[in-house]
Amino acid sequence: MINLFFTIFLTFLATFSYAESYLNEGSFWKYKYENEDHNGYIVHKGSATFLIKKENGLLYELSSIDETGDLSFNKFEVVNKIPEGNILYDVINLEKRNVYLQFSPYLIANNSKIISLENKFPKTSFPVFSYHNQISWTFSSQIIGNEIIQLQGKSFDTIKVVMNGQRPTGPGGCMQGQPGIINIESWYSKEYNRYIKQVVKEFHCSIDSGKLLSKETYELISSSDTPKKGDEKVNALDQKEKLIELKGLFDKGLITKKIYIERQRKILESD
């Protein structure tokens, strides 16, 4: 299945340059995923894992979603180009045509570890069947500033970025029951190459803008990144969890034995 996805995306991927200076093959980020309905009830939960792979000399992102809920069950893997910079895109379940909106996951992933927006209007990449793929949408992003957040029992000094989107109500725009307003909050830590938390809220059309459709939350629970505090390397996430996650990737054949051994050594030496 992965080879099929890679073949589909190969030509598309080749047109992009990748940030090999700060993203390495075998890097991964695993998130706890929850989706709340308009009443605040968690109707879906699970995990979302993003893995950097290389094939034919190209780096790309393998997205793995494992979600359960009262209404449906989704477990799939799909290949994406590495979404660099200020970008809004859908992670797509090609079989069920479900989409998971993502905003600028690697916005802080650079050598200087500084967030900057080359343009407040994010680039977009959506499938034709997505509600987000409509010319009437307008999107804009803004750096809010520093914020300390609690995540998995730890405090993180982060930079917060917010993305807002809206489309008009009516023919050619938002229709009843569809998303017409989007708000995404993202928190980035300088120790990580991917956001550590993201909250995606979608609302009904502007005529009923106060009604929430869904609230999706991604919270980082495991990562191959090695955080730093001052000049000392520390584990901001549990070392045992990292080793378990790494072995899971190796057992699934998603990373080679060489990469597995190298990553394992780095985790064990990070104390």
The Cβ of residue 82 has, within 10 Å, a number of other Cβ atoms equal to 21
Instruction: Decide: residue 260, CB within 10 A, 0-12 exposed, 13-18 middle, 19+ buried.
Output: middle
Q: How many angstroms separate the CA atoms of 209 and 179, rounded?
A: 9
Q: How many angstroms separate the CA atoms of 226 and 263, rounded?
A: 10
Phi, psi of 118 (to 5 degrees): -65, -20
Tokens of 201: 């809220």
pLDDT band at residue 197 using 50, 70 and 90 as cut-offs: very high
Tokens of 70: 């009262």
pLDDT over 70, % of the chain: 81
Q: How many angstroms separate the CA atoms of 46 and 66, rounded?
A: 6
Residue 266 in 3-state DSSP? helix
Q: Please report the pLDDT score of residue 269 as a whole number.
A: 67
Q: Please report the pLDDT score of residue 52 as a whole number.
A: 93
Place of tokens 């991927």: 13
Instruction: Assess whether pLDDT exceeds 80 at residue 199.
Output: yes
Domain residue ranges in the chain: 2-268
| pLDDT tens column, 53-90 | 988 878 899 999 998 766 567 889 999 888 888 999 99
243 membership: H or E segment, kind and range: helix 239-251
Dihedral (CA of 90, 92, 96, 97) sign: positive
Instruction: Decide: residue 98, CB within 10 A, 0-12 exposed, 13-18 middle, 19+ buried.
Output: middle
- The pTM (predicted TM-score) of the whole model is 0.77
| pLDDT tens column, 94-112 | 888 889 999 999 988 766 5
Phi, psi of 96 (to 5 degrees): -100, -10
